[in-house]
Structure 1
C-alpha cells in the first residue's frame, strides 16, 4: 500500500473520530465568541490576543478542510456537496488579510459566516437546513397566498381607516406594514380600539385577519416543514439501511466460513 493511501486511511479515521469532531465544534464556538468580542472596546492586550486567535482559527480551519479533502476517496464527490463548497469558500476568503487590504470588509464579513460551519459539522443541523431548503417551493405558494390576503385587507383598511389615522392607513403599502404589526401582535389592540371608536364592528376585520394569517398560515407553514423533515428522515434512514455495517460484514464472513467448512466435511 502506497504512502498516500495509508495517509488517506489515517486522515479518514481522524475525520470520523468523535473527539476531533468535538474539537472542531469547540473551535467554531471560540470563533463565534472571538467575533463577538471584537464588537466591544477592548484593551490593547485583548485586541492583540484576538488577532493571534483569529490566525490560529483560520489555520485550523484550513487544516481541517484539507483533512476532509484528502480523506475523500473520490475527490469529485467532495465538491458535489454544497456544504463542502461553502466551507471551502469560507476558509479561502478567511485567508484574506484584514489589515491594509481593500477587501478587509469582505474578509471581516466572511469571518462572521464561519459560525455557520457548525451546520456543516453537525448532521442534525444539516438535516434541518436541507429540509427547510426543500420546503421552499411549497412555502412559496403559501407566501403568495399570504400576500394576496395582506393585499386585500390592506386595501380595505386603507379605504375604511385612512381618515382615522393616515399614519397607519395612509396608502396600501403603509397599511400592509400596519397589518404586519397586527399579525405579529405588536400593540395591535391599540390600533383596533382606535378604529372601533368610529366603526364599532371593526374588530371583525382584525379577528378575521389574525385568524387567516397568524393561525391558519402559520400552521400550514409548520405542517409543510414537518412533512418535509419526515421525508428527509425516512430517506436518510433508508440510505443508511442499504449500507452494510462492519458487524454485518463480519457476520456474513462467519457464515461463509461455516458454509465452506460444511462443504469440505461433506466431501470428506
Structure 2
C-alpha cells in the first residue's frame, strides 16, 4: 500500500519539518495509528470486551488522540512563516475540525457528536491513499451530471407509474393503488428485485403486463444504469487526469508535455489492440 501526503500541500513548504511530515514513513506511521484507533473503536462496541478491558481501551484511544494532536501541530508548524497556507488544504481543515472539535463547548457532553468525531478520525485514512482521493474527486465531479440522471429517472418513474396505476390500480391497490405507490414499486424494480412476483401478479390483470414490465426494465434498469456507469467512468478519468496534471506541475513538467504523454499512451493502447487483433487473425488462419 502506497501512503503519501496530499500533493497540494507541498509547494509552500520547505525545511526538515516539512520533509518529515511529507515522508512516507511518517505518513505510514500515522495511517497505522488510525487503523489501531479503528480497531479500538470497534472493540468498544462489544459489551463483554468493555466489561473486561474498558480502562485499557480508553487509554489506547487517548494515546491515539494524543498522537493525532502532535501530528496536527507538526503539520501546522511545517508551514513556517506562512501558517495561513495550512488552511488552503481541505484535508488540513478536515483534520483540524475532527481533532479540535472535541474541545468545542457542548460536544464532550453530547455522546452522539463525540462518537461522530471519533469516527471522523478513521475517515482521515483516506488522506494517505492517493487512489481513494481520486475516487472522492470522482464522486464529487459526478454530482452535477447525476442530477440530470435523477430528473430523467423521476420522469420515467412518473410516466410508468401513471400507466401502471391505470392498468393495475384497481386490481392491485397495495402496489399500484396510487401514483406514489406505483412509483415506489417501480423504484424497487430498478434493482429487478421480486420482478417475477410483480409480473405474475400483473399478468392476472392484463396480458399487456409483459409489454409494460419488459419495456420498463429495458428503459429504466439497463439504459439508466449504463448512463450512470458512463458518467462515473468519465468523471474518474477526468479526476485521474487532473491528479496527473497536478503532480506533473509540481515535478516541473509542463501541461503540453503531459498532453503529449497522454497522447502517446493512447497511441500505445491502440497499437496493443491492433496487435491483439492481428494475433487472433493469425491464429484463426492457422486453424
Fold conserved (TM > 0.5)?
A: yes
Match of 1:140 in 2: 147
Match of 2:185 in 1: 178
Are 1:70 and 2:77 an aligned pair?
yes
Q: Residues 232-263 of structure 1: CA distance to partner in whole angstroms, max 9, x if unpaired?
A: 22222223223347xxxxxxxxxxxxxxxxxx
Shift of 1:33: 2.2
- Root-mean-square deviation (CA, aligned residues, Å) is 2.4
Alignment coverage as a number of residue pairs: 238
In 2, Cα distance between equivalents of 1:110 and 1:193: 49
Equivalences for 1:33-72 in 2 at 5 Å?
A: 33-43=39-49, 44-72=51-79
Are 1:234 and 2:246 an aligned pair?
no
Shift of 1:97: 10
In 2, Cα distance between equivalents of 1:97 and 1:54: 21
In 2, Cα distance between equivalents of 1:61 and 1:95: 14
Match of 2:33 in 1: 27
Structure 1, unmatched stretches of 5+, are 1-7, 246-268
Residues 157 and 36 of structure 1, relative CA distance in 2, 3 Å threshold:
farther
Are 1:225 and 2:232 an aligned pair?
yes
Preserved contact between residue 97 and residue 104 of structure 1 (Cα < 8 Å): no
Preserved contact between residue 146 and residue 217 of structure 1 (Cα < 8 Å): yes
* Counterpart among 200, 204, 211 of residue 197 in structure 1: 204
Preserved contact between residue 58 and residue 95 of structure 1 (Cα < 8 Å): no
Normalising by the residue count of structure 2, what TM-score does the alignment of the two structures yield? Answer: 0.75
Normalising by the residue count of structure 1, what TM-score does the alignment of the two structures yield? Answer: 0.80
Could you say which structure has the larger radius of gyration?
Answer: 1
Match of 1:263 in 2: none
Match of 1:257 in 2: none
Shift of 1:96: 6.4
In 1, Cα distance between equivalents of 2:62 and 2:32: 16
Are 1:88 and 2:96 an aligned pair?
yes
Q: Which has the higher contact order (CA 8 A, sep 6+)?
A: 2
Preserved contact between residue 196 and residue 203 of structure 1 (Cα < 8 Å): yes
* Counterpart among 109, 114, 121 of residue 121 in structure 2: 114
Shift of 1:86: 1.5
